[in-house]
Amino acid sequence: MATVDYALEIKGLSKSYRDFKLNDVSFALPKGYIMGLIGPNGAGKTTVIKLILNLLRREGGEIRVFGRDNREDEVEVKRRIGFVHDTPFFYDHMTCRRLKDSVAPFYRDWDEALFRRLMEEFDLPLGKRFSRLSRGMKMKFSLALALSHNADLLVLDEPTSGLDPVFRRELLGRLSAFLQDGGKSVLFSTHITTDLERIADFVTFIRDGAVVFSAAKDEILERWAVVKGGPELLAEEHRGLLQGVRKREFVVQAVSADAAEARRRLGKTALIERASLEDIMFYLTRGNGHA
């Protein structure tokens, strides 16, 4: 049996704050694929990313990047990762050129020609102050830095939030192009699930600090369904089949993680539709648990 090479493996990760707990988070991203990390605001996506980066200290579990522990081999791991943060940690008053000058010496594989080419492609002026860049331009600049040291894994925290659709498409196109160079992988946190439906190969859904599911996107979209029907859906026999139940006076809506079984048991009495990632996230976040 062929073994899978993972770009990122997270096992039993935990971290607690006074009012939030990341609990036993586990998922794995095979080499050469894009994984979307989805979840509502405050679900723990940024915490996971900060733990990968060692900005936060984990309390338990394991994080391996290309088989290396992210704390024991911190330097080598960070060399192979390109990070794009939701709020870039750059000094606002500095020009793009100076920011690049302060970052580039840390990477032995820094490709100056590639950086210049990306800056041109992204229409970013080197002499412009970071504070004067629009949010989209800031993201592009962060991406240019992340790509210019030939990272093998890109980790992006909400890169498309607050951006217009044109730039979002451009960014997604760029990520797909990045993958064409074999062996590159992307972990992409977002709450804009339509972006993921375009490009992601795997999806991990986090809610309240715990993983709800982590699987191939196509498998998820095939397996999950939206179920709409009358109050009979609340019957005890359907308990376990339906999740994220939303009740109105005469209508009950929910999602099911077993579309085939839902069709078999409820096909005659309820409307069963293909679920999008957004549907799944919405019902599991806003619904009231099981039927």
Partner 1 sequence: MFKFILKDFFLHKKYILSLGILYPLYVGWFGSRLDSPRVYALLAAFMYMIVALFPYTREDKLKAVGLSLSLPATRREIILGRFLTSWTLMTGLWILGTAVALLMSGGKLGAAHLLGLGSILTILAYMTAFLAVFTPLAIRFGMVGLMIFLVAMQVLGIVAMLLRARTQTLKALIGSVGRGVATAQEALGPAGAVAAVLIVFLIVNYASFELSVFLFKRKDY
Query: What is the footprint of partner 1 within residues 49-88 (CB under 8 A)?
Result: 50, 53-57, 74-79, 83, 85
Query: Closest approach of Cβ 78 to partner 1, in Å?
Result: 4
Q: Considering the rule CB under 8 A, would residue 98 count as an interface residue with partner 1?
A: yes
Angle, CA 180 vertex, CA 176 and CA 182 arms, to 5°: 130
Query: Closest approach of Cβ 94 to partner 1, in Å?
Result: 7
Stretch that binds partner 1, among 89-97, 120-128, 169-177, 280-288 (CB under 8 A): 89-97
User: Quick one: which of 101, 112, 261, 273 contacts partner 1 (CB under 8 A)?
Assistant: 101
Tell which phi-psi region holds residue 212, choosing left (phi > 0), alpha (psi between -120 and 50) or beta: alpha
**DSSP type of residue 95:** B
User: Quick one: which of 24, 28, 40, 103 contacts partner 1 (CB under 8 A)?
Assistant: 103
Give the Cβ contact number of residue 62 at 10 Å: 14
> 119 φ, ψ to 5°?
-60, -40
Residue entry with tokens 């009979």: 232
**DSSP type of residue 63:** E
> In the complex with partner 1, which residue's Cβ is closer, 21 or 246?
21
Query: Closest approach of Cβ 29 to partner 1, in Å?
Result: 19
Query: Closest approach of Cβ 265 to partner 1, in Å?
Result: 47
Query: What is the footprint of partner 1 within residues 104-123 (CB under 8 A)?
Result: 105-107
CB-based contacts of 243, cutoff 8 Å, min separation 6: 254, 255, 256, 257, 283, 284, 287, 289, 290
**Bridge partner list, 154:** 82, 186
User: Quick one: which of 5, 41, 67, 91 contacts partner 1 (CB under 8 A)?
Assistant: 91
**Stretch 32-51: interaction string toward partner 1, x if CB under 8 A:** ------------------x-
Query: Closest approach of Cβ 17 to partner 1, in Å?
Result: 9
> In the complex with partner 1, which residue's Cβ is closer, 62 or 86?
86
What 3-state DSSP class applies to 136?
Answer: helix
What 3-state DSSP class applies to 234?
Answer: helix
> In the complex with partner 1, which residue's Cβ is closer, 71 or 286?
71
Binding residues for partner 1, total number by CB under 8 A:
27
Farthest-apart Cα atoms in the chain, separation? 66
Burial of residue 155 (CB within 10 Å: 0-12, 13-18, 19+) is: buried
Binding site for partner 1 (CB under 8 A): 50, 53-57, 74-79, 83, 85, 89-94, 98, 101-103, 105-107
